Chain A
Amino acid sequence: ELKVEQNPLFLSMQEGKNYTIYCNYSTTSDRLYWYRQDPGKSLESLFVLLSNGAVKQEGRLMASLDTKARLSTLHITAAVHDLSATYFCAVAPTFSGTYKYIFGTGTRLKVLA
């Protein structure tokens, strides 16, 4: 059974600091997704990582994928309060054309002013 684990589960950090969220998954997959979710809202797509070594950056967030280690990271640079949210990684089965995502447990990020 495919499992996806994130750590940390909770993260409280000061504005201006850097931090990394880790996403480990248990079986072969070459498609990894990062989402942001604000309280009571749906999922906002952040990054789609489709190959080993993929790195994508948007603003203060950078995501990478190592399929051999079955690990993805979401790095936060110089955090600001607006980044406070819950972040999920999700893995889809090695390509079958379906998006039956398996989501991680989520990392609840709180950026303190």
Chain B
Amino acid sequence: DTGVSQNPRHKITKRGQNVTFRCDPISEHNRLYWYRQTLGQGPEFLTYFQNEAQLEKSRLLSDRFSAERPKGSFSTLEIQRTEQGDSAMYLCASSSLASMNTEAFFGQGTRLTVV
């Protein structure tokens, strides 16, 4: 296992289009997190899953955003009717429920540019 994998790495889309990103967590990691990082800022928490259940959503996650983790493995983040303000790096992380686990591990991110 090579870590958290995100696809695509880069996405350019026209305003108003829908986009979907995928995150494959580390095998057997129960928890999966999505963060958004805009230019010059630190990452901000969006949502997280434990297995297939979405347990928490930030108020940053507007109605145009939806995240799923249908089988408790990979996750998708969809943005509908993209706006220029959605341009950001979208980071996925995963963690284990095992007691010895002390941190979440981040993927390489998907950079979205809305033109």
Contact = CB atoms under 8 A, between A and B. Distances in A.
Interface stretch (A13-21, A63-71, A75-83, A95-103): A95-103
Interface stretch (B18-26, B68-76, B77-85, B101-109): B101-109
Interface residues on A, range: 20 to 34
Interface string A78-113: 000000000010100000011111111110000000
A100 B48 contact: yes
B42 A99 contact: no
A13 to B, nearest CB: 20
Contacts of A102: 45
B104 A43 contact: no
B107 A42 contact: yes
Interface residues on B, range: 20 to 34
Contacts of A31: 102
B111 A99 contact: no
Interface string A21-46: 00000000001010000001111010
Given A41-B108, A43-B106, A50-B102, A100 B33 contact: yes
A97 B97 contact: yes
Contacts of A55: none
A106 B93 contact: no
Contacts of A98: 31, 48, 56, 95
A33 B102 CA distance: 10
B28 interface: no
Contacts of A4: 42
Interface string B8-36: 00000000000000000000000101010
Closest 8 CB pairs of A and B: A103-B42, A99-B104, A42-B109, A42-B108, A43-B106, A99-B95, A103-B43, A100-B45
Given A100-B45, A105-B41, 5 more contacts: A40-B111, A41-B109, A101-B104, A103-B42, A103-B44
